[in-house]
Amino acid sequence: MKPKKEVNRRFFFKQAALAGASLVTAPQLLSQPFNSSLSDKFDRKPTELPTRKLGPLEVSGLGLGCMNLVSGTYNPTPSKVEMISHLHKAVERGITFFDTAEVYGPYASEALVGEALKPFRNQLTLASKFGFEIENNQRKGRNSRPESIAKVVEGSLQRLKVEAIDLYYLHRMDPNVPIEEVAGAVKKLMEAGKVLHWGLSEVSPATLRKAHAELPVAALQSEYNLAERVVENQILSTCEELGIGFVPWGPTHRAFLAGRFNEYSRFDPLDRRSQLPFFSEVGFLKNMPFLQTVRKWSEKKEITMVQFALAWLLAQKPFIVPIPGTTSPQHLKENLGALQVKFTPFELSEIRKEIESFSFHGVRLADSAFQDQ
Ligand SMILES: NC(=O)c1ccc[n+]([C@@H]2O[C@H](COP(=O)([O-])OP(=O)(O)OC[C@H]3O[C@@H](n4cnc5c(N)ncnc54)[C@H](OP(=O)(O)O)[C@@H]3O)[C@@H](O)[C@H]2O)c1
């Protein structure tokens, strides 16, 4: 693992200003918020956040999910200038762990992350993912054939502007390729110095064990939050036993736990949530009462609902590093507040009783933990 140097303040602002300047080409943009907000903050130091271990990797206790920064999964595609500034602010606030994938965009999220974070590369852990076929800029089926992995990594390296990817995940298991072969292909990339650590996403405990036996796995990334808790069925315990870190995606349950919606909320057909039973009319009616629990606990702890949702995840295991996918600097700041929250064992057992007594609509079945998704 590379040593994590402290982000030097002068270096940060100089490099950030340079990176920003290369972006802003239209004259009318030159005096706009990007540069002025940087100079306003000149006195602030990049914050040091508490860190956590994902296997051998040490990263900030919260990462930043970079899927929504480009593709508009839940929101209209944000402006590139704003998202570059957002990524710089994330570094300034102490985030050292950034999550992307070839398929986000496709390609555009990796390219954005690579461009924005190039100046700080040595201080950061960049994670990306492979395993989908992409044709005409559209995501197609799965493809983890060794020859495909050897090819697609080159594109990811180029877009991320790195010599080696810190953490390279198999995004989804390809049913046609045994995990041993995938591990073998990644091992070759490690031997060639193109990948430093590897991970998997949404696999069963059995696949995780086989993968780890072939080539030690640093992290598993799967969906986990107060509402979606399938990974508590032997997946987290397998990570703990094998010393594998766990990265929950969807930690706010796609903003549900933020209390942003009510039973009248409906989504644009292009919004991923419009296709999910949890967010349907029936789903909202059945799931919305759970927010009373989230609201009650957040008031009790004097924190926001999202902070409660993230802090609860952090409290489950010390090797958990959530990656909320915000496009908003304000939300990012709010989310980082979760790192300061502590629960007593009594509080955790009370919360556990309350969440387990609630029956959610549109969540995964417990047994799905044993299938690769
Ligand atoms: N491995 C996988 O298969 C997989 C699948 C999906 C995602 N991921 C990764 O995991 C990351 C996170 O997952 P996700 O984006 O699906 O779920 P998420 O982080 O639970 O939800 C993202 C949504 O939450 C909102 N949000 C975040 N912080 C908020 C706050 N403080 N207040 C109000 N709303 C807030 C965001 O809106 P704003 O932008 O307005 O803040 C966005 O709409 C992704 O970015 C991606 O990197 C991995």
Confidence of residue 32 (pLDDT cuts 50, 70, 90): very low
| β-strand partners of 60 | 51
254 CA: nearest ligand 1 atom: 21
Residue 9 clears pLDDT 70, i.e. is over it = no
How far CA 303 is from CA of 89, 94, 342, 352, in Å, comes to 22, 20, 11, 18
Closest CA to 48 of 7, 97, 2: 7
- CA-closest residue to ligand 1 atom 44: 65
Q: What SS3 string covers 170-229?
A: ECCCCCCCCHHHHHHHHHHHHHCCCEEEEEEECCCHHHHHHHHHHCCCCEEEEECCCCCC
AA letter at 227: A
Atom number of ligand 1 nearest to Cα 249: 10
| Antiparallel, parallel or unpaired: β 57-60 and 51-54 | antiparallel
Q: What is the pLDDT, as a whole number, of residue 11?
A: 41
Q: Which atom of ligand 1 is nearest to the CA of 100?
A: 47
In angstroms, rounded to a whole number, what is the distance separating the alpha carbons of residues 186 and 206? 19
pLDDT of residue 72: 78
Q: Which CATH architecture has domain 43-370?
A: Alpha-Beta Barrel (3.20)
Q: Is 319 helix (H, G, I), strand (E, B) or coil?
A: coil
From atom 15 of ligand 1, which residue's Cα is the shortest distance away?
325
**Closest atom of ligand 1 relative to the 74 alpha carbon:** 43
d(CA 294, ligand 1 centre) in Å: 18
Determine the Cα angle at 92 with ends 30 and 297, to 5°: 120
pTM of the model: 0.90
How many whole angstroms separate alpha carbon 252 and alpha carbon 288? 14
Q: For residue 129, what are the contacts with CB-CB under 8 A and spacing of at least 6?
A: 100, 101, 102, 103, 168, 169, 170, 171, 201, 221
Residues 6 or more apart in contact with residue 239 via CB below 8 angstroms: 208, 220, 245, 246, 317, 319
What are the pLDDT digits (tens) for 200-211?
A: 999 999 999 999
Residue 1 CB neighbour total at 10 angstroms? 12
Ligand 1 mean position, distance from CA 255 (Å):
7
Residue 5 has pLDDT above 80, yes or no: no
Q: What is the pLDDT of residues 57-69, one digit of tens each?
A: 999 999 999 999 9
Would you state the torsion angle of the CA atoms of residues 195, 197, 201, 204, taken in this order, to the nearest 10 degrees? 130
How far apart CA 281 and CA 299 sit, in angstroms, is 27
Confidence of residue 46 (pLDDT cuts 50, 70, 90): low
Q: Give the Å distances, CA to CA, from 258 to 48, 112, 161, 261, 292.
A: 25, 26, 34, 8, 12
Question: In degrees to the nearest 10, what's the CA dihedral of 213, 219, 221, 227?
Answer: 100
* Beta-carbon count within 10 A of 208 CB: 23
pLDDT tens for 152-180 read 999 999 999 999 999 999 999 999 999 99
Report the pocket of ligand 1 as residue ranges, CB < 6 Å.
Answer: 65-68, 74-75, 99, 201-202, 221, 249-255, 258, 260, 306, 323-328, 331, 334-335
Residue of 72, 137, 80, 138 whose CA lies nearest to 270: 72
Burial class (CB in 10 A: 0-12, 13-18, 19+), 243: middle
- What's the pLDDT band for 263 if we cut at 50, 70, 90? confident
Pairing of strands 51-54, 64-65: unpaired
Domain ranges of the chain: 43-370
Cis bond upstream, residue 106 (ω within 30) = yes
Catalytic residue numbers, as ranges: 104
- Ligand 1 centroid–CA 138 distance in Å is 21
Give tens-digit pLDDT for 190-247: 999 999 999 999 999 999 999 999 999 999 999 999 999 999 999 999 999 999 999 9
State yes or no: pLDDT of 290 exceeds 60: yes
pLDDT at 23 over 70: no
Q: Residues 46, 7: contact at Cβ < 8 Å?
A: yes
Taking CA atoms only, the protein residue closest to ligand 1 atom 21 is 254
Q: How far is the CA of 322 from the centre of ligand 1 (A)?
A: 10
Angle in degrees, 0-180, between the axes of helices 108-117 and 9-23, rounded to the nearest 10: 130
To test ligand 1's pocket by mutation, which of 95, 168, 328, 364 has the most ligand atoms within 8 angstroms of CB?
A: 328
H helices of 93-175, where?
108-117, 146-160
Scan for tokens 């032997």, then name that residue. 234
* Residue range 261-265: mean pLDDT, rounded: 89
What six digits make up the tokens of 211? 């993968």
Ligand 1 atom closest to residue 67's alpha carbon, by position in its atom list: 45
Taking the centre of ligand 1 as the mean of its atom positions, its distance from the CA of residue 67, in whole angstroms, is 8
Q: What CA–CA distance (Å, rounded) separates 54 from 238?
A: 14
| Residue 249 alpha carbon to ligand 1 centre in Å | 7
| Dihedral pair phi/psi, residue 197, rounded to 5° | -140, 160
| Nearest CA owner, ligand 1 atom 11 | 65
